[in-house]
Structure 1
Amino acid sequence: MQTDDLRWDGVVTLHGRVEQRIAKALQRRHGIGLSEYRALCRLVRADDGELRMQELADLIGLNQSSVSRLVTRLENAGLTRRDHCPADRRGVYTQITGEGRAVHEKASPTYHAELTGALDDAAADPALAPLVQLLRTR
């Protein structure tokens, strides 16, 4: 197997372990999925707490259909609301609500703790330790 293939396999393995751990903790403790959390993160950081749907899709790595379903779930939970662009009625925005900000604030410590824990666990695996070290190097 090529060196690049082995490195990529390590990235995929590490990513899967980290994602699974964080997703389980967010669902169990806060009732939201990892994609929902990521969307809330991006909206919290956005100007006026809003993003065009396509921009949100690009930022969190989802296609248009998936981000539409995601935003519908967030809207149904009262965490976001949709708005049309006044200059272009075809443009649809999603905006975080106060409740969405509160959920994000409560879930952030869980996200960060689980990320740290998952990377600590992976650092104990000789196959993943160099990758974790690289990620943690500034």
Structure 2
Amino acid sequence: MAAQVRSGEVADDAQVWDRLLGLHTLVESRLATALQRRHGLGLSEYRALALLDQAPDSELRMQELADKLRLNQSSVTRLVGRLNAAGYTYRDLCPDDKRGAYTVLTDPGRTRCREARSTYDATLTAALEEVAAEDPALAALLTTAREVM
């Protein structure tokens, strides 16, 4: 990322990164709060359900889920344990490799995910719009990101 110019000064990479982390922290906090309050889901739980909802046959190997969520194996095991206990997923053994395990989305899990999706989308958009209104440089970055993605 190129250095940013603000008030005649050039921001170094650490300053740019700190601003991006601030944006990330704000958005993640808003998403986590909204999902927990309205749907009783943690942010990682919602993201796991969303990944499973989009996956072929609504299932992913545990390691693949961990990789997509960017969580370690221990964290995703606990996460899936919570989803299983809530009835949103179940564990299935891999037919080709009995050591491998899949996490499979249930109908109640699919319903909970789809109910929460509109909250996630609306909260995300609102948080990004708020930041864009307060910070022209981040507004420009968000506009560029939306155009190229």
Q: Which TM-score band applies after superposition, normalised by the shorter structure?
A: over 0.9
Note the 1:98-137 alignment, pairs <5 A.
98-126=107-135, 128-137=138-147
1:65-117 C-alpha deviation (Å, 9 max, x unpaired): 00000000000000000011111111010000000000011000000000000
Query: Secondary structure at 1:82's aligned position in 2?
Result: strand
What's the offset of the Cα at 1:130?
3.0
Q: Gaps (5+ residues) in structure 2?
A: 1-9
Q: What amino acid does structure 1 have at the position aligned with 2:93? A: H
Q: Which moved more, 1:1-10 or 1:117-126?
A: 1-10
1:4 paired to 2:9: no
Write the distance in 2 (CA, Å) between the matches of 1:106 and 1:135.
27
CA RMSD of aligned residues (A): 1.4
Work out which of the two has the higher radius of gyration on C-alpha atoms and give 1 or 2.
2
What's the offset of the Cα at 1:124?
1.6
- Structure 2 residue aligned with 1:92, among 101, 106, 120? 101
Where relative contact order (Cα < 8 A, 6+ residues apart) is larger, the structure is 1
Q: Gaps (5+ residues) in structure 1?
A: none
1:73 paired to 2:82: yes
Note the 1:17-36 alignment, pairs <5 A.
17-36=26-45
Quote the sequence identity (%): 56
Q: How many residues align?
A: 138
With the length of structure 2 as denominator, give the TM-score of the two structures: 0.87
